[in-house]
Structure 1
């Protein structure tokens, strides 16, 4: 369990002695400084500790975003908090100058990406249920790799016989794929319209044939990047 930092006795969150405009500017500065200094998304709860009780954090965030318009980085809502991230339009320049972003630090095979996609949409879900979707057993190595990357975690036990563990996605999953909440996952109907996913067939235990090919160790046919777009790469 993360330890909450103590607020210094001398820290004045309210700033009641300042005129309203200066107070607002100071709150904006504090919020942006905290987000800028943090390597991970900063939650509303954390930001609330550095501003007054009557401060509207959503309006603060809106004003910071307005000031960042035209800058090469922006303030994004991700994984239940806020984080500074460079704009996608500068990806090529960053890669050319620094080499950063030329490869995904947490690469997924096509099979792993599809398993993660199913967990994202149908969590909490057991390994056995995933196997029914794909028509074959999902290896413990696949689950172990997704756990090792921090994308999934053990969820509650299933009410099925034997009470197997279920799997759920994590905040790291949201952060890596630039999602604020699971509601930001691509719309199921849009994926169905694109022929990438069929909810009805998945729930019936029939994984779409477009994803499958042959037997043996090959779990997923070759697909181009556009077909795996929902989970193919992390944002900059």
Structure 2
């Protein structure tokens, strides 16, 4: 029986190895133009099928070693210029996304979309915005900024939605955990990097964040005058 099991394991390994060999990434039998076209189609197919933004490493698995993923993306985006969707970069990854000009048409159709719309309460949105600008930030620092306790339930809700992850422990007494935003946060809000966050003036106009509150929080953090987590 042991020998039989070993044989099955060996065959399984051989099968996977053969699969790797049979998948032709280099496409050396094709003329250069057709080879590039096939690489483009493969890259687009992977991005289209993926439920999450796709990394460069993932795309590199389906094209040849001499293929530049960045140039492939550039050519695909050029082809999609007249289409109602595009390939966008999100935290160093790529995904298909409808152009904002067609958002109203998509909403009016009431058709189910691939991803659920971001649904946050006003308070959750304000807390998430504060974390995005202040990160890494502790719950105590957030509570100081808002002038009232930011509950563990609020943090848990944002974590469960995939917007928050754990950051480094704060050097303040008690070494409370800090929080940071995730790649999913960037994807959900259509940002490539945190540098694309709206200006504080726009958030102040919307009543979501106060520049004075941010400054007071920074001062309190330096002085150690924050609520403990």
1:13 is the counterpart of 2:25: yes
- Aligned pairs (5 A) from 1:11-90: 11-90=23-102
Structure 1 match to 2:148: 136
Rounded to whole Å, the distance in 1 between the matches of 2:139 and 2:204 is 27
Deviation at 1:41, TM superposition (A): 0.8
Which runs of no fewer than 5 residues in structure 2 stay unpaired?
1-15, 219-229
Which of 91, 101, 104 is the aligned partner of 2:103?
A: 91
Structure 1 partner of 2:179: 167
User: What's the TM-score once normalised by structure 2's chain length?
Assistant: 0.77
Instruction: Render the CA deviation track for 1:49-99: whole Å, top value 9, x for unaligned.
Output: 111222221111111111112212211112431111222222333333334
TM-score, structure 1 as length reference: 0.75
Task: Tell me the CA shift for residue 12 of structure 1.
Answer: 2.1
In structure 1, runs of 5+ residues without a counterpart are: 207-236
The secondary structure found in structure 2 opposite 1:22 is helix
SS in 2 for 1:204: helix
Counterparts in 2 of 1:84 and 1:156: CA distance versus 1, 3 Å = same
Structure 1 residue 159, shift from structure 2 partner: 1.6
Mapped to 2, the partners of 1:115 and 1:58 lie a distance apart of: 36
> What is the distance in 1 between the residues matched to 2:211 and 2:61?
42
Q: Once structures 1 and 2 are overlaid, which stretch shifts more, 159-168 or 16-25?
A: 16-25
Partner Cα distance (1:97, 1:184) in 2: 29
Instruction: Determine which of 106, 119, 124 is the counterpart of 1:112.
Output: 124
Residues 133-184 of structure 1, C-alpha deviation per residue, up to 9 Å, x if partnerless?
A: 1122111121111112111122221121111111111121111101122222
Contact 2:204 2:211 (C-alpha < 8 Å) held by counterparts: no
